[in-house]
Structure 1
């Protein structure tokens, strides 16, 4: 009798374990859907879309809301996803600005007499000008590349620079006509320029909003900030202007 009772008990335990395992596997999916403000049906549709051509042609940073909005089945659905994405981007921009403000205050408080950048190292000395004109890449080199989303000359220079990417550490791209909250424009631009998402995930290429970086760099290198593209070699602690003609 004991043996006949133990078999159902064992089967029941196995079923409960399987149910728990299934629940554990589903929980991350449910939490991710909730994180994006989507219900289960929307999340399943998003996953289905990403298994098709959308997943093949889109950058890895494309959000579920953008995917659903791109493939909206009617005007009302497109409007709803657009509003949802706009709200999330605005909230994210507010968080970023709040943290930046807190960081600025903390840095001033902790390092009241500290100098973050040695302007003497940034000055475009004659020796560094010669380096830029007769450049031989080093593994530590990075290039700061300032451009905008409508600069065809910049696109051609970027294409030639990317062809040499294996010879140096990476490229930091700054979009001067993109503001906080418009991160999706950067992703769309990068995809249109065939920036490999793997490069971005490995930090070989970074995508950045300018946010005043151009003015700060040109103030030290003596370049004309109005002329795009603007390239700067970042080697160790030195910033050196790179002539566009080199590429």
Structure 2
């Protein structure tokens, strides 16, 4: 009797049975991902509340700033952005009223600080002039004449660029001071280019580009930017 086929079948069955043994199972437990507290959501909610907005309005502002509006005006505040992109007259009126209220609070705080600044200057430096703008006095005008115009501007301010263009078109000489320039020459040059300031007039110094370096605050004049000012009888006045 030939036993080789039987032995071969037994060996094959034993090998198959060994390979078919289930792999050992590690006694591990699946731990669900832990959800961290919504720090970003809490921040968004707080910022929305500071602007008088609902969370869904803040979310829409964030969405708007990721589109063309944010490209053209990356520093736009929430109320202006939502007002520009208002979907109804009711929305537009709401954001306008919120912005008026916000501006009133901001101006009130600014004026309160300005009064404190004025008092501090008088205590520390009585009788001394607070600011001297280079090139602001016309040659031979002295302290009693009218000097060159000083124009204070800031970034992302369409009226600032428009005012500068008007002065340039009229052939007016002026000294431009950029508020919030961070002492960065490139920021001023970029702003001047976007505002359409003629480089030839800058080279001829009929228009000068300067960092504000706190001068606007030191003048203590009311109102927002742009500001066109001139020294008259030793006092700076808006024009």
- CA change 1:70–1:162 in 2 (3 A) is farther
1:84-233 alignment, distance < 5 Å: 84-117=98-131, 144-145=150-151, 153-156=166-169, 159-161=196-198, 170=210, 180=223, 183=224, 208-210=226-228, 214-215=229-230, 217-219=231-233
By percentage of residues, which structure has more helix?
A: 1
**Distance across 1 between alignment mates of 2:136 and 2:152:** 17
- CA change 1:118–1:26 in 2 (3 A) is closer
**SS at 1:116 equivalent:** coil
Shift of 1:118: 6.8
**Distance across 1 between alignment mates of 2:57 and 2:70:** 16
Partner deviation per Cα, 1:211-234 (whole Å, 9 max, x = no partner)? xxx24x35469xxx86xxxxxxxx
- CA change 1:179–1:163 in 2 (3 A) is farther
1:70 aligns with 2:70: no
CA contact (8 A) 2:70 2:76 kept: no
- CA change 1:54–1:122 in 2 (3 A) is closer
Shift of 1:122: 7.2
**Distance across 1 between alignment mates of 2:132 and 2:151:** 21
Cα RMSD over matched residues? 4.3
- CA change 1:146–1:161 in 2 (3 A) is farther
Equivalent pairs counted in the alignment come to 164
Shift of 1:33: 1.9
Shift of 1:110: 2.4
**Distance across 1 between alignment mates of 2:66 and 2:152:** 35
Structure of higher CA gyration radius = 2
Corresponding residue number in structure 2 for 1:38: 53
Gaps of at least 5 residues in structure 2 are: 1-25, 141-148, 154-159, 172-194
**Distance across 2 between alignment mates of 1:179 and 1:117:** 16
- Whose RCO is larger (CA < 8 A, sep 6+)? 1
